[in-house]
């Protein structure tokens, strides 16, 4: 079976509490975008799950979330296969804050569920995804959604109005544990206006969403990487973005545009300095739903 795995962006990311177990409760407005990996998933005679990819450095075993997802699904729901070959054509930048690994895992879950004799309903499949990774439940659901807790408490939201979304990933990476380690929730100075974003979504007000976006991690990255992130945001805004923010735990930055020409100008300008720049659009929940059986 061939299936697309969609990248996500965080229209907002707020850290609301530090839990007893050391993890943090989050409050995030998430959006699926039209940048995808493509997965080919086939049963094979050998026992075991193997992942192959156009990026040779990606793990081939269960430290790859796609393999972990297959194993979690088989353990909990069964499946009439002994072995699985998952081939991933990766286009979503790795370790970018765009949820590429979680998207691949969610695509595997959806694919195996579609082939199952008794498929789980989407909300149960999403909850199974929490055993694979924090962003996986949202990636199973897709579209525009509020994600709370570690990311497993999901509420569907009205879709983001049509727009162009420019994504830019600078060359450096940011470690998630390091970022959470630097986060002191008593010292958060700026937060996204999540309530305002929800209201703007209900009103179909793109500008209202864009002007209220923020990611609390932006204020924690104080070295050269923080400066670079702010530079990309400024570049997007100077090309006419209605708003710009970092996605997830970074370092990717995105801008929302109501003017497609402005978005194209931003892509051209950013490409002078960065290799990974993408022009995308929002994707609705029902567009992410299914894979297709290969003709062969």
CB closer to ligand C5P out of 149 and 161: 149
Measured at the CA of 167, the angle between CA 161 and CA 169, to 5 degrees, comes to 155
Residue 254 in contact with residue 108, Cβ under 8 Å?
no
Residue 5 in contact with residue 104, Cβ under 8 Å?
yes
Residue 294, classified by CB atoms within 10 Å of its CB into exposed (0-12), middle (13-18) or buried (19+), is: exposed
Residues in contact with ligand C5P, shown as a per-residue x/- string from 178 to 217 under the rule CB under 6 A: --x-------------------------------------
For the chain, the farthest-separated pair of C-alpha atoms sits apart, in whole angstroms, at 57
Residue 74 in contact with residue 82, Cβ under 8 Å?
no
Binding region for ligand C5P (CB under 6 A) out of 17-25, 72-80, 123-131, 165-173: 17-25
**CA–CA separation, 168 and 264 (whole Å):** 13
Q: State yes or no: residue 134 binds ligand C5P (CB under 6 A).
A: yes
- Among 34, 38, 40, 176, the residue binding ligand C5P under the rule CB under 6 A is 176
| Active-site residue set | 8, 135
CB closer to ligand C5P out of 151 and 226: 151
**CA–CA separation, 150 and 26 (whole Å):** 6
Chain residues 86-105 in contact with ligand C5P, contact rule CB under 6 A: none
Q: State yes or no: residue 26 binds ligand C5P (CB under 6 A).
A: yes
Q: State yes or no: residue 153 binds ligand C5P (CB under 6 A).
A: no
Residue 86 in contact with residue 49, Cβ under 8 Å?
yes
**CA–CA separation, 11 and 255 (whole Å):** 10
At 154 the three-state DSSP class reads strand
Q: Give me the least distance between CB of 249 and ligand C5P, in Å please.
A: 8
CB closer to ligand C5P out of 131 and 259: 131
Binding region for ligand C5P (CB under 6 A) out of 39-47, 117-125, 176-184, 195-203: 176-184
CB closer to ligand C5P out of 17 and 46: 17
CB closer to ligand C5P out of 23 and 172: 23
For the record, the structure tokens of 50 come out as 């193997």
Give the count of residues interacting with ligand C5P (CB under 6 A): 9
Q: Which residues bind ligand C5P (CB under 6 A)?
A: 22-24, 26, 134, 150, 176-177, 180
């Amino acid at each position: 079976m061939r299936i697309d795995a969609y990248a996500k962006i965080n229209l907002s990311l707020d850290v609301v509490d530090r839990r007893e177990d050391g993890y943090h409760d989050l409050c995030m407005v998430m959006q699926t975008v039209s940048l995808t990996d493509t997965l080919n998933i086939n049963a094979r005679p050998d026992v075991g799950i193997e992942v192959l990819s156009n990026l040779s450095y990606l793990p081939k075993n269960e430290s790859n979330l796609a393999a972990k997802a297959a194993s979690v699904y088989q353990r909990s729901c069964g499946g009439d296969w002994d072995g699985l070959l998952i081939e991933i054509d990766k286009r979503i930048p790795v370790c970018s804050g765009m949820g590429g690994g979680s998207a691949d895992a969610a695509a595997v879950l959806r694919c195996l569920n579609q082939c199952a004799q008794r498929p789980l309903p989407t909300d149960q499949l999403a909850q199974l995804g929490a055993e694979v990774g924090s962003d996986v439940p949202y990636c199973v659901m897709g579209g525009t959604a509020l994600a709370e807790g570690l990311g497993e408490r999901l509420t569907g939201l009205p879709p983001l109005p049509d727009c162009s979304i420019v994504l830019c990933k600078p060359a450096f990476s940011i470690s998630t544990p390091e970022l959470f380690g630097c986060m002191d929730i008593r010292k958060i100075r700026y937060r996204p206006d999540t309530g305002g974003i929800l209201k703007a979504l209900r009103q179909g007000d793109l500008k209202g969403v864009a002007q209220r976006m923020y990611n609390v991690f932006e204020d924690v990255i104080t070295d050269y990487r923080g400066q670079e992130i702010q530079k990309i945001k400024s570049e997007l805004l100077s090309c006419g973005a209605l708003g710009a923010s970092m996605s997830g735990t970074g370092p990717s930055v995105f801008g929302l545009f109501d003017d497609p020409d402005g978005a194209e100008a931003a892509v051209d300008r950013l490409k002078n300095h960065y290799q990974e720049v993408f022009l995308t659009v929002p994707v609705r929940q029902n567009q992410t739903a299914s894979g297709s059986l290969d003709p062969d």
